[in-house]
Structures are given as C-alpha cells and as structure tokens.
Amino acid sequence: MAEFDPPAQQRKTRPGKRRGRKSASRGKPKGARPAPAASASTPAEPAARPEASPAISHAAMAMSAPSPVVSAPPPPMEAPRAPWQKTPPFHRQANAAIDLGTNNCRLLIARPSGDHFMVIDAFSRVVRLGEGLAQSGRLSEAAMDRALGALHVCADKLRKRNVHLARSVATEACRRATNGEAFIERVHRETGIRLNIITAEEEARLAVLGCHILLEPGCGPAMIFDIGGGSTEMVLVDTSDAVPRILDWQSVPWGVVSLTESIGPIELTAEARAAAYHDMRTRITDGFARFSERVTPARAAAAAEGGLRLLGTSGTVTTLASLHLGLPQYDRSAVDGLIVPTASMREISQRLAHISPAERIAVPCIGRERADLVVAGCAILESIFDIWPAERLGIADRGIREGILRSLMAAGGLGDRRAAESAQAFRGPNAGNAS
C-alpha cells in the first residue's frame, strides 16, 4: 500500500497546453531550495538544512542482535507515478519521512549521498494534536484540523520534490485516541498521506536509529531517551559493535503535553509551582520504577567501564542546551551534537520550573508556544538524570525522521537482506514494558 496517494481531484489530467509546459519543464534539473528558517518561537523544531548529515553510514542502519523480531514497519512502497515519469537512479531519488507526534508535525526529504544523505527540504509545525486528549480520550476537531493543515503542506512538498519512497508515522496521540484510526482515514482521504500508527517500541527503535551516531565514544552500555509530546522512551543500548543493539527499553505515557494536561491549571504562586513540579517528578519516577530496577546492573557496569553515557533527543533538551549556551535564538548547528554537563541542565530545569509563566515566555529560545510545556519537559529530564546519573548529556536535534530515512535508504540501496535487518526491533530478556 502506497504511503502517499494523491486524492483523486489532484490526479486529474490538466488541459493540453498547460500539461505540455509542465511536462517540458520536468526534464530540467532544479536546484534544492533551502529549508525554511527556524522560528524563534519554536526553537526546538528547526527545519533541517540542505546539507549532508554528518557521519551517517549505511553500515549503521541495522541494529543487529540474536533476539527475534517483535515488530517491523510495513515495507515502504513507491508513490504512484505518471506514465511520463521515469524512476531516477538511486543516488538521485528523493526519500521522505513524516512524523506526526502529539505536539509536532515534522517532514524531512533527502537524497542519498554516498554513505550519507543530503537534506533537500524540511518542515516542522506545532500542531498540538494531543490537546485535550488526557481529559476526553479523543482527538478534538480543532487539533485534527491543525494537524491536517500541516499535513497538506507536507503533501504539497512530497509532490513538488517528486518523492520516490516515503514513510509516514503517527505516535502516542493516535495510539491512545479512540478516534485515532478514523483520523488516519481522514488524513488519507484529504491529503493522500497514509499514516502508520506505530507502537511505542517502534518509536523507540526509530529514535535510536536516527540519533545514536551522536553518542560519545566509550565502553559499556549507554542510555538514549526521547521526550515526546505524549510519551517518553528510554532505551538501553549496547555499543560494543559498530551498530547499537537494544538491550532494554521502556515507554511511559507521559510527554510534555500529556503530563502538563494531567496536572491541570497551576495557581500563580511559588508554592503552587513547586508542588506541581514535585507531582510531575513523582509521576515520571513511578512510571520508570521497574525500568530503573532492571537497568541497575547495566548502570553499575557502565560506571565501572569509564562512566555513564547519556544521549537525549527532544525539544526539551535542545531548548535547554540553547539556554546553556546563552543563545539569543535557536541555532541547530550549535546544538546538534553538543555535550553539556547534566549539572547545568538540572540548574536550568529548576530555574524554569519555579519562575512564572510570563517570565518563561520572556526567556530566549522558549517563547509563548513552549512556555507551558517546558516545565513538564524539565521534570521528565530530571527524573531521567536520577535513573541514569551521567555527568554529561549528549544533545541530538534528530530522531524519528532520520531513523525512517535511514531505513528507507537501506531498503533502496543495500538490498533486501539489509533492508529487513534495518526494519527489525530487538528486545532484551526483560524489555518491552510499555506503560
């Protein structure tokens, strides 16, 4: 089943002269346009630049392990093509990844470039699809309309960039909503995009696949986490081989949106803010309690082998890293791949959690869109530091989209065997406890 199937009214043949002009222009190469500039109001969701992603190799696309396959995404299919369209050579094909999360809708379009990929277009918009979900159990009409608006933009970009392979995924909001499947059908009907609601395990696997290259070198197991809008995943990986192997993982249904909404309105007093933050910390700690117990031996082994390594991908960590650097506005090139002291991130988290909403809005790199969500992100981050008390934190401004692209490019460029390997998600003996 195709991931992108333009609605019928968009597939109609246009009148002769106009079609002739359009067909003639198809043979002329077009330069890649730069991706949209990041907005200061949404600092942690920058559009990727049209440049090669550093050190992303096809050799790192498969996360090999002797464990059995427990989930695999449907194989990506080629989008429908007009008769005059010829399939370009692999190195010129455009691949795309769409990640519809609880808070954001993100698109990345890229072409293979040797062992790397070249980003040719990107898009990111805050849609808050999960707004109100914690109370109603359903996606609201307003939230679905916002998401559809963003997905229409994505569909236009897929057409304009003549995308060859695409995979589009939806995460926690659509997993939890009673009308999630109906929304998926509406998206396909109105935009032509086929969204696949992935499991929490697949979400964790793709995040690791997309960002693990930024882990600090070292021995012993390492921890990678992804703070989303509706859920948070922690993944313990073995990096003794060229590619990481997932040893254990945990997902809890607390992300920056779901945790914020579960607490509800907070009174404008210092005492109320402190109590709310403590409540958030408690919920996250309780959610990860079993996982924390399971990784105790790995934590001790990592400490004995030279120190704990920790890598995070989320708007929370990129925003706090910007504040650590004192940036006046978000700069992906300064943040992606940065290593920061966890003590600094704790101090920033505490400060943001206890100042007023108006003061948070005025903080550079936060703004109005994130002012109410960043506190929940800080609570989740501090709880992760308690579970895996590393002295340093790696910052990744990459994740699920990049993981999807690497899987697609493995399927297109390295044959069926490697494609199958890249689609696998592996479990340790105690893994897979999604709360």
pTM of the model: 0.74
Q: Which of 267-281, 284-298, 403-417 has the lowest mean pLDDT?
A: 403-417
Q: Which of 9-23, 186-200, 322-336, 339-353 has the lowest mean pLDDT?
A: 9-23
Same fold, 8-199 and 203-396: yes
**137 phi, psi to nearest 5 deg:** 75, 5
Top CATH class of 8-199 equals: alpha beta
More confident site: 377 or 243? 377
Superfamily of domain 203-396: Exopolyphosphatase. Domain 2 (3.30.420.150)
Per residue in 80-100, pLDDT (tens digit) is 443 333 444 444 688 999 999
Question: Domain locations in the chain?
Answer: 8-199, 203-396
Supply the pLDDT for residue 129.
95
Question: What residues does 99 pair with on adjacent strands?
Answer: 106, 169
Helix (H, G, I), strand (E, B) or coil at 78: strand
Residue 139 has pLDDT above 60, yes or no: yes
Residue 325 has pLDDT above 90, yes or no: yes
Residue 202 has pLDDT above 90, yes or no: yes
Residue 169 has pLDDT above 70, yes or no: yes
Residue 8 has pLDDT above 50, yes or no: no
Supply the pLDDT for residue 3.
54
CA 82 from chain centre, in angstroms, equals: 32
Residue 417 has pLDDT above 60, yes or no: no
Rounded to whole angstroms, the Cα distance separating 420 from 424 reads: 7
Per residue in 257-269, pLDDT (tens digit) is 999 999 988 888 9
Beta strands in 55-144 (DSSP E): 94-100, 104-113, 116-126
Question: Which CA distances in Å does 250 have to 54, 170, 253, 435?
Answer: 28, 18, 10, 8
DSSP characters for 216-253? Answer: PP-SS-EEEEEE-SS-EEEEEEE-SSSS-EEEEEEEES
**198 phi, psi to nearest 5 deg:** -95, 160
